[in-house]
């Protein structure tokens, strides 16, 4: 009897850890950023994407995690600005969005973006006279 209780408790523990990992564990997605929405106050930041090489839409929320381990995210406005710049400068470029969470439509759940790996030219501010500065 004691052995069955131990096995049952271990099974429940593994299921809980598995659920927590799926919900809050890190993940990465190869996507093309197609737009950004939200003002961070009244309307939550969102990063609209299409999975690279497909027509599948994937929307990320971009919210501060605060002191919630292991992310300690406080820079959602900065990440939103980077996503906006990538949208303008490199709309066809596939980038890697790092985040955590699941997309469950019927629960209105979105993965939370933590960082974006994009080429430097996509992250830099546009300069009209880039070539002129290099020549001088």
Segment 51-98, tens digit of pLDDT: 988 999 999 999 998 887 777 889 999 999 999 999 999 989 999 999
What is the secondary structure of 65-83 as a DSSP string? -TT-TTT----HHHHHHHH
Q: Binning pLDDT at 50, 70 and 90, where does residue 129 land?
A: low
Residue from 54, 47, 114 nearest 85 by CA? 47
Cα 12 from chain centre? 30
3-state SS assignment for residue 92 = coil
46: enclosing H helix or E strand: strand 46-51
**Is the link from the previous residue into 109 a cis peptide, with omega within 30 of 0?**
no
């Amino acid at each position: 009897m004691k052995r069955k209780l131990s096995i049952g408790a271990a099974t429940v523990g593994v299921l809980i850890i598995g659920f927590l990992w799926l919900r809050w564990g890190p993940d990465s997605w190869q996507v093309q950023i197609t737009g950004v929405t939200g003002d961070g106050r009244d309307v939550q930041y969102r990063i609209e994407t299409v999975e690279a090489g497909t027509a599948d839409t994937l929307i990320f929320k971009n919210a501060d995690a605060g002191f919630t381990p292991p992310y300690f995210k406080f820079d959602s406005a900065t990440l939103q600005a980077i996503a906006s710049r990538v949208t303008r400068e490199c709309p066809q470029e596939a980038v890697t969005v790092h985040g955590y969470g699941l997309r469950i439509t019927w629960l209105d759940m979105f993965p939370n973006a933590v960082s974006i790996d994009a080429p430097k030219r996509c992250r830099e501010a546009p300069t009209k006279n880039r070539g002129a500065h290099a020549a001088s």
